[in-house]
Structure 1
């Protein structure tokens, strides 16, 4: 009922209805004209059609949903056309057209986000956690900046650093590294931001030799960078040698020689690696030597190399102290260190015999890593000589006693076999042959055989034969017991007290940790390369990996986390880069390249290291829907 007209009339509202991109119907009121008493039903229909055409012409309705291909208003009366223009003007003025367009666009945006779960696929998974940590450590060490200063191209830098990351995380051969880069690791992707970018075989094989060509410059850069990063003073240096064995004959090599293998692989040719590291485990000097280089012979070259890179201070209060083991600590080497301006601390190669303890009865007790007591006492100083500490360890005494007993039993068994052979049919009886046989046993067990008195009895019937072998121990049981568990530390520094000297000496464990990481965690052994240049490059490549690992571990150790590299890799291996493919409600193919979030344990490592836990942002790729059949 229209109050104005006093009769029942239709009340009109202009509504727009459309089906969005995924087929849903939307309806909204665009205008409310109210009562239109002057218009008949046919004219109302014409107004509706005219407004629909105007709406289509506004580029709001997609072409495939348009109702009119031609303007229908030419067939309408002037009055109807007037209403169409009037209503269209009011609709536009109210902002409803823009609102409708925004509604349609919003529906389209929502449709794009609607994924058909049945079309989801996960492909191209790559390891990213350990690679991300290595890359950020490399950037912290500014290796990429150094190589740019050397004039390297970005492509060469990226391929070389990707190969170095693979060497650090997986320790493979070059042949295996190429496949890991192509199929398993996101190392190259993290560097270039392009999935599927992989170094060529030539680039992978050239990485180690190219870096080895810059060895001296690179070591100086890394020393300077780590000193700056961690505020290192390098007042104490640790010298040591280790060796690596080869698989293969290596007959054409000048360096690969037979020698005493520390892994009991004396059947293989060896290379010797001489290292000088600081107390934080960072390398100050490295040299690759022939496999038959004896420990004492290596020190002069190491000293010269260290001095050339780290000039010795003339201030007595700032002298560097070198910690070495007994194998290197010959009198000549100690004299060389002193002459070149170094202080030194080592285990004495010989046990003191005629000595007295300083301030008799005074001693200091410390504890080893297993909480076992060790007693330290100062030896009375002799004018012009070095300073000594006597170290007494009950645990070491038990171990040495057990080993000594075992070696004595084995040595006496050899002597017994030689004596029994004198009366056995076909046994060795010739005097010179028996002496030779016993001599081999003397050389096999030198630590115990030197305390035996051995008598050879010639045969009365045949002087060329031996009739008996007799032996007795020249040292008493009490004297034997006193030898066990006791050794002496030697230094040329008068101001070190017992506890400080012991703490300094125990830093030698740091270089043992370094060797463990090189050989076990980074798998630098065995060496398969057949030329000296490639072998040296292989070892130096491993040393660069060690720089990266030690940078990470040192930052963690400052916060009390002492995991080895193998454990850190395990924690970080939970983070992957992956491609996810799916189809949305518009029929478009969506492809996402994302990196998974780190686990809680990995997140804690990232937090302590101060590294970004997400190596790259999500990449979204859209492709048009396939054409209809």
Structure 2
């Protein structure tokens, strides 16, 4: 968890860190940014700026077109849900037992804004009351309530680190390496059934963990050298389509002949086998006359 307390602990004990920056302004100037190409052939803009007053920590702002589309789509979805929640308060004004108290409706609108984080600031919602000011007679809403955008810079996220000697590209490549490792461990947790870990089996769990961690990067590195840059989750899906099947044949003498072999590899799987220089028929063909 990249809380201020945890980062301070890392600095106090002399550890290097490269973590996501939580909160704070995101001042991004594309004209000053460095453009690099990611593994997915997408252009990423990186902006390197000093963050801390003592100059011991810096921030790397990263702008991604795909992340911008995601941020904007999330905002639109939040706005649609905010608009869908407004009629519920308006409909209550025309019902005999509907809520009409000013303070209660203000609280309800506040909860709606809090639930649809980021959308409420884009709307001007007014409660029209009677002469007493306690009873609401109408609710009006209009989009365009705040000039402030949320997120303020769509598609931009920040990284913070105390590796001030590293350039922008090295920081980004290192961060993507860390995220790849996290995704890999999340995947392996489910595949190897690491949970729960019992005390009497902890050594075995650790051994399998290290062994699996060594195997996966080795396989991905060899595949990358041949132009295959798929994630481990994608590779697992490609490998999962092949099965070992057993067909049993009856012979004339009454005995049975079970034949066990692998199914034919799909094109993507065949390309993976060729890159790894292994047989496309794992296990070979096994025959047993019974």
Given the two structures, how large is their TM-score scaled by the length of structure 1? 0.35
What does residue 408 of structure 1 align with? 79
- Structure 2 contact 118–151 (Cα < 8 Å) conserved: no
Q: 1:456 to 1:523 in 2, by over 3 A?
A: farther
Q: 1:470 to 1:492 in 2, by over 3 A?
A: farther
- Structure 1 contact 556–609 (Cα < 8 Å) conserved: no
Q: 1:536 to 1:447 in 2, by over 3 A?
A: farther
Map 1:205-354 to 2 at 5 A.
Answer: 328-352=1-25
Q: What CA distance in whole angstroms lies between the structure 1 residues aligned with 2:10 and 2:79?
A: 38
- Structure 2 contact 256–289 (Cα < 8 Å) conserved: yes
Q: What CA distance in whole angstroms lies between the structure 1 residues aligned with 2:151 and 2:275?
A: 53
- Structure 1 contact 376–392 (Cα < 8 Å) conserved: yes
Does residue 107 of structure 2 align to residue 436 of structure 1?
A: yes
Q: 1:409 to 1:523 in 2, by over 3 A?
A: farther
* Structure 1 residue 597, shift from structure 2 partner: 7.8
* Structure 1 residue 376, shift from structure 2 partner: 0.8
* Structure 1 residue 365, shift from structure 2 partner: 0.9
Q: 1:602 to 1:339 in 2, by over 3 A?
A: same
- 1:156-213: per-residue Cα shift (whole Å, max 9, x none)? xxxxxxxxxxxxxxxxxxxxxxxxxxxxxxxxxxxxxxxxxxxxxxxxxxxxxxxxxx
Given candidates 156, 159, 162, the residue that maps to 1:492 is: 162
Does residue 63 of structure 2 align to residue 392 of structure 1?
A: yes
Q: 1:418 to 1:598 in 2, by over 3 A?
A: closer
Q: What CA distance in whole angstroms lies between the structure 1 residues aligned with 2:192 and 2:50?
A: 46
* Structure 1 residue 429, shift from structure 2 partner: 0.8
Q: What CA distance in whole angstroms lies between the structure 2 residues aligned with 1:332 and 1:514?
A: 25
What does residue 376 of structure 1 align with? 46
Q: What CA distance in whole angstroms lies between the structure 2 residues aligned with 1:603 and 1:375?
A: 32
What does residue 180 of structure 2 align with? 509
* Structure 1 residue 485, shift from structure 2 partner: 1.8
SS at match of 1:401: helix
Q: 1:352 to 1:619 in 2, by over 3 A?
A: same
* Structure 1 residue 372, shift from structure 2 partner: 2.9
- Structure 2 contact 21–158 (Cα < 8 Å) conserved: yes
- 1:551-601: per-residue Cα shift (whole Å, max 9, x none)? 554443232165523432433x2465x8888688xxxx9898876488684
SS at match of 2:171: helix
Q: 1:470 to 1:548 in 2, by over 3 A?
A: same
Does residue 227 of structure 2 align to residue 564 of structure 1?
A: no
Residues paired across the two proteins, number: 270
Q: 1:349 to 1:451 in 2, by over 3 A?
A: farther
Q: What CA distance in whole angstroms lies between the structure 1 residues aligned with 2:46 and 2:288?
A: 63
Structure (1 or 2) with the larger CA radius of gyration = 1
SS at match of 2:114: helix
- Structure 1 contact 356–380 (Cα < 8 Å) conserved: no
Give the superposed CA RMSD: 4.6
Structure 2 gaps, min length 5? none
* Structure 1 residue 497, shift from structure 2 partner: 0.7
* Structure 1 residue 465, shift from structure 2 partner: 2.4
* Structure 1 residue 363, shift from structure 2 partner: 2.4
Map 1:140-159 to 2 at 5 A.
Answer: none
Q: 1:431 to 1:543 in 2, by over 3 A?
A: farther
Q: 1:565 to 1:485 in 2, by over 3 A?
A: closer
